[in-house]
Amino acid sequence: MRRLLLLSLASFLALLAQPAPAPVHFEGKELFLIQAPTPPFAPQDRASELQSRLTALASLDRKAEVTLAPMPQQQGIALMAGNSFLIFVSAQDAAAARVSTAELARQWAAVLTTALQHSRQSRSLAAYLLGGLKSMAAWLLFAALCWLLVRCIRWAGGHILAWTERQSVARRARGFSLVIWNRTALLALWMVKFIAAVFLLFQFSFVLSFTFGQFPQTAGISTTFLDYLKEVFGRIASAFFGYLPDGGVVVIVVLLTVYTLRILNLFAHAIEHRDLHIPGLHPEMARPTYQLIRILAAILALVIVFPYLPGSGSEAFKGVSILVGVLISFGSGSSVGNILAGVVLTYMRPFKVGDRVKIADTLGDVLEKTLLVTRVRTPKNVEVVIPNAAILGSQILNYSAMARSRGLILHTTITIGYDAPWQAVHQALIDAALATEAVLPDPRPFVLQTSLNDFHVSYELNAYTDRPNEFEFTYPRLHANIQDSFNRAGIEIMSPTYLSLRDGNTVTMPPQHRPPDYQPPGFRLEP
């Protein structure tokens, strides 16, 4: 039993030590296999040398017939083409092929003779012309196939879009359902284009290989190119399948993350456009919430796949990871603070895009809210970028929050002397407010007497508007209308202090608002 095991092991080791067979290629065709070595040459070396000699003979373009030259001393037969040595057929070659040495030599000689004759015929002018015509026909067919495939894709795309549109109309799809139908149509179009692209790629490879095979000078290129591609992609496939257990986890996690985020993006879009309602999640909170979830999902996916990345356990990878972590920790302190402030502001909802706000000393309309900064455009058309951390620590005045439901109150103060009846002053102010564009008639404007001063009374006009983003234009119109209304009512605006003593000068009202028989008042002296 022990001897049998040793014999089996020796046979197995001998099989492992035997070199692999090497094919002999000539002008894109495989002629035969060389299975045995001829020391000190391996089968691959012998095949390569024979290919070089055949190529040299073919370039001479002369008729050559392979003959046999027995060599009893070396226990083999040499194959000759004229005076040129091609290859030596040994007893080991015959034993590997399981035929006699003479029979194997005759077989190889016949194959080589046929290959050289075919090579000589393929180098004639007629062969070149025929190869050129075949190549042109192949490329014309490929171009026609490309044109036909493009037309088919357009036809299929139109039918797919029309079908999905009919289905969405028939099912009365609205909002989120309509988005699902549209995305289904786009996915179907993408699949059709992908299949067409793969098909065209294979056809292009076939036509290119066919063209190279029509000419003896390039016949070996296609075979060599294909062998190179097989070797490269074989290594890639080997590495891929070797990494597949760990790489499968990475691929699955990445795909789940990507498609989950796409689905959440659809929900965020639907909530943002009020096509879908979720209690507690307002439309202006949908996009920031999605951005926050996207960051958290990316971090979670990275944490899961990190141990499965190639080289993640190496010391270099660990060192780089620590260095990147330290750099991020030192350089992102303010950024993290702004992100946290942005999250807090998102759920505090102090303002939304389009609101007229005043943040610290900045007054303007909100253009954009992100997790890092908020962009505000001032009435002078200046864009101000404010970090969210600064906003969270400042006072925020939102002029648009109540204007959407109850209106924003515009107010201005005017001082009038005691000689003017307060009822007339109230009416003149209310008339001026009602005559101003952007002031709401309901609720009705009202007047407050805020103080009784030494020389005059302070009247505060309050008027409602639903256009908070335009009050820098509403105030000038309101002040102009107050002047016109007081002039029509014959009430002088004497503010802050105006002496009633006249020395013959005219009053301050414009001429068109004075009585026709107006005379400048003079001094009146009483005994």
What pLDDT, in 10s, does the model give residues 22-64? 888 776 677 788 888 877 778 888 888 887 887 777 666 666 6
The pTM for the full model equals 0.44
pLDDT the model gives residue 196: 86
Residues of the chain with CATH 2.30.30.60: 352-398
Architecture of domain 352-398: Roll (2.30)
What is the mean pLDDT of the segment spanning 271-296? 76
Contact in structure between 367 and 355 (CB atoms under 8 Å): no
Pairing of strands 408-417, 396-398: unpaired
Residue range 515-521: mean pLDDT, rounded: 79
pLDDT of res. 383: 92
Closest CA to 272 of 182, 372, 190, 369: 369
Where does the chain hold its CATH 3.30.70.100 domain(s)? 408-500+507-513
pLDDT tens track for 61-75: 666 677 888 887 777
In this prediction, residue 16 has a pLDDT band, given cuts at 50, 70 and 90, of very low
The reported pLDDT for the residue numbered 14 is 44
pLDDT of amino acid 435: 92
pLDDT digits (tens, 9 = 90+) for 431-469: 999 999 989 998 999 999 999 988 889 999 999 998 888
CATH architecture of 408-500+507-513: 2-Layer Sandwich (3.30)
Read off the pLDDT band of 2 (50, 70, 90).
low
pLDDT at 13: 43
Question: Of the ranges 140-144, 206-210, 325-329, which is most confident?
Answer: 140-144
The reported pLDDT for the residue numbered 275 is: 74
Q: State the pLDDT at residue 417.
A: 85
DSSP per position, 147-182: HHHHHHHHHHHHHHHHHHHHHHHHTT--THHHHHHH
Q: What is the pLDDT of residue 410?
A: 92
Cα gap 127→111, rounded to integer Å = 21
When pLDDT is averaged across residues 329-345 and rounded to a whole number, the result is 71
pLDDT reading at 121 higher than 70 = no
Name, in order, each residue with C-beta under 8 angstroms of 262's C-beta and a sequence gap of 6 or more.
Answer: none
Average pLDDT over residues 386-415: 87
Determine what percent of the chain is predicted with pLDDT higher than 70.
77
Mean pLDDT over the full length of the chain: 78
The answer for residues whose C-beta is within 8 angstroms of residue 157's C-beta and 6 or more apart is 189, 192
Q: Residues 235-278: pLDDT tens digits?
A: 767 766 666 666 677 788 888 888 888 888 888 878 777 777 77
Separation of alpha carbons 349 and 369, rounded Å: 11
Using only the alpha carbons of the chain, give its radius of gyration: 47
Which has the minimum average pLDDT: 89-93, 223-227, 237-241? 223-227
Amino acid in position 525: L
pLDDT of 496 above 60: no
